[in-house]
Each structure stands twice: as C-alpha cells, then as structure tokens.
Amino acid sequence: MLLNNPPSTSPCVKEGDNRMAYVGRFAPSPTGPLHFGSLITAIASYCDARAHLGSWLVRIEDTDIPRIYPGSEDHILRALDAFQFEPDADIIFQKDRIDIYEAVIEQLHQQGAVYACQCRRKMLGSNHIYMGTCRDLALPLENQAIRVKVDNQTICFTDRLQGRHCSQLQQDLGDFVLKRRDGIMNYQLAVVVDDYLQGITHVVRGADLLDNTERQIWLGKLLGYPELQYMHLPLAMNDQGRKLSKQNRAQALDLTQASQLLQQALLALHQPRVELDTPANMLKQAIAQWDVTFIPHGTELQGTY
C-alpha cells in the first residue's frame, strides 16, 4: 500500500496544496478515564483549532491492548458528549488500522530504514539508549521487535509555548521501536501515520510528550510527510508533585459537573473567565477569547489539581 497521499475520503483532508490551514486533534489513549489534565488538552486543542477557523478531529489511541483500562473508552466518548465538543469527522480507533501501520513498516523496510531486533530491554545501556546491536544482522522481521534507524544528526523544532527543543538522534534517542515483539504497534509509529493520514497540521498536547517529538519528526521525514506545528501544554500536577495521569489513577472527570470543570480548565490555562452556561456556549465564549499568549510557559502548571 502506498501511503504518500492521504486518502481523499476523509472529509477534512484535501491533498497537496489544498490542505486546510489548520487541522487539530485530540488523541487520548483509553488507559484510564479522562481526568482534569486530559480535559485541559482537549479544551486547548479544540479552542486553538476553532480560533484559527480550523477543524478538530478525535482519535482513540488504543493499539496497546494490554494497557487498555476497562470502561475508559466509553468514559472518553461520554466525556466528549458531556463537554459538547464537536469533532469534524467520525472518531477513528487505531486498533482498526493495524494493516495501515504494517504497510508503513513495509514501506520503511523497502527504504532500508528499519530492522528486526531481538535484544531484550535489559540489554540496553544504563541510559536506555539502544546501541544498534541488531542493526546489521538482517534478521527476519517476523516475531521480532522492529526498530527504525536514526542518523547522526540533530533535530530541532520550535514549540509554540516551550520554544526551541532539540535532540541529537543517536546520542539522545537511539534507534527506536515501531512495533513490539508481541506485535503491538508503538505509539510513535501510529501517531505519525495517523496525524498524516488525518491531515493534521497542528498538534496541541501535554508537555510530557515533548521529548517524543523529535522521534516523530524524524519518522515523518523518513516517510516524506509535511512537518507539523507543535504546542506542548504545561501539565496539571497532583498534591504529590506528580503529573495527573491515567497511570497514577488521576480522578476521573465527573461528567455531571461539565460546566464547572470547563471553567476551571480555562482558568488553569489563564484564559479569560467565561460565564457558567451550557458547555457548548462556554466553549463558544472561550474560542472568541482564546489567547495562547496567556497560557503559562514551562512544563508544569502552578498549584495542584
């Protein structure tokens, strides 16, 4: 399958120069119910897209089947309804798209950009950077982890909030896994492929993903995809100084309190106050007042949530 052109069937994607100026997205993983930190990401990605007269898509990142938390997908979908977000296309689920990711791995294999790796995690150095032990062994791809090769170069990008961010690919990252030995597609691959196929132009997400961005830019370059604009939001922290996350079982959003939570999330982003109303009306106000320059810089929000 040739994946250099996004499918023309997607309502929001036009090929080549006709791509929309702004297509944003919210891409939660169902590894737990949505929490206040996820709400901040959803609101910021939505308001930023709408304030740019862009479209906004939702993708459920559910390739890592063992980490799916029962009921969380349902909670995410109910939350999107409760907060009255309006995606511009049907929600896509990555678990239905494994063939597409396989085809991209094949494409990279033809380019000589990937290889099978039989090294176990404990064989990595103390800094967890893979030294390329299996690079030249030409092992068959079946039933092995698949790694993509990185070059000896530095990738930089300018984040809309965090400023310039760079990684030296070999020293800082090393060849990284696209598909695990158990057959599960890695987030790095699926996110890059789907951002491209959905015609995404702008990524707004939590600062915990900042350090993944150079890997994703590298992979996008290998595949000939256009570069994206990134904005990594400061993270909401709990009272133990840890980021709210599904893994540390942050409290699920109470969907009966959608308007109040919306107001709190906008204040956390230092946006002007919006009057309590239906979530749809509050989002309208928030979009009209949206100003990225008010969002605190840095990777953590002040205070606890």
Please state the closest distance from residue 57 (CB atom) to ligand GLU, in A.
12
Please give the biggest Cα pair distance in the chain: 62
209 binds ligand GLU (CB under 6 A): yes
33 binds ligand GLU (CB under 6 A): no
Q: Is residue 115 marked as binding?
A: no
Please state the closest distance from residue 37 (CB atom) to ligand GLU, in A.
9
Q: Which is nearer to ligand GLU, 28 or 33 (CB)?
A: 28
In angstroms, what is the C-alpha Rg of the chain? Answer: 20
Q: Is residue 26 marked as binding?
A: yes
| Residue 102 CB-density burial (10 A; 0-12 exposed, 13-18 middle, 19+ buried) | middle
Give every CB contact of residue 259 below 8 A, 6+ residues apart in sequence.
276, 277, 278, 279, 282
Q: How many residues does the chain have?
A: 305
Give every CB contact of residue 117 below 8 A, 6+ residues apart in sequence.
130, 133, 134, 139, 144, 145, 146, 147, 175, 177
CB burial of 130-144 (b: ≥16 within 10 Å; e: otherwise) equals bebebeeeeeeeeeb
32 binds ligand GLU (CB under 6 A): no
Cβ atoms within 10 Å of 192's Cβ, excluding its own: 24
Q: Which is nearer to ligand GLU, 60 or 266 (CB)?
A: 60
The sign of the torsion formed by the CA atoms of 162, 168, 172, 174 equals positive
Interface pick for ligand GLU out of 61, 62, 175, 214 (rule CB under 6 A): 61
Q: Which is nearer to ligand GLU, 28 or 199 (CB)?
A: 28
Please state the closest distance from residue 257 (CB atom) to ligand GLU, in A.
22
Binding mask 127-166 for ligand GLU (x = CB under 6 A): ----------------------------------------
- Residue numbers 9-28 binding ligand GLU by CB under 6 A: 27-28
How many degrees, rounded to 5, is the angle at CA 40 between CA 291 and CA 162? 60
CA dist 178 and 201 (Å) reads 22
Alpha-carbon 250 to chain mean position: 19
Contact call for residues 151 and 170 (beta carbons, < 8 A)? yes
Q: Is residue 156 marked as binding?
A: no
Binding mask 216-245 for ligand GLU (x = CB under 6 A): ------------------------------
Binding mask 167-206 for ligand GLU (x = CB under 6 A): ------------------------x-------------x-
Please state the closest distance from residue 41 (CB atom) to ligand GLU, in A.
7
User: Rounded to whole angstroms, what are the CA distances from 229 to 140, 151, 203?
Assistant: 36, 22, 6
Please state the closest distance from residue 106 (CB atom) to ligand GLU, in A.
23
Contact call for residues 203 and 230 (beta carbons, < 8 A)? yes
Please state the closest distance from residue 284 (CB atom) to ligand GLU, in A.
24
Q: Which is nearer to ligand GLU, 202 or 205 (CB)?
A: 205
Interface pick for ligand GLU out of 29, 107, 201, 263 (rule CB under 6 A): 29
Please state the closest distance from residue 196 (CB atom) to ligand GLU, in A.
13
Contact positions vs ligand GLU (CB under 6 A): 27-29, 61, 191, 205, 209
* Bind-site residues for L-glutamate: 25-29, 61, 187, 205
Annotated binding site for Zn(2+): 117, 119, 130, 134
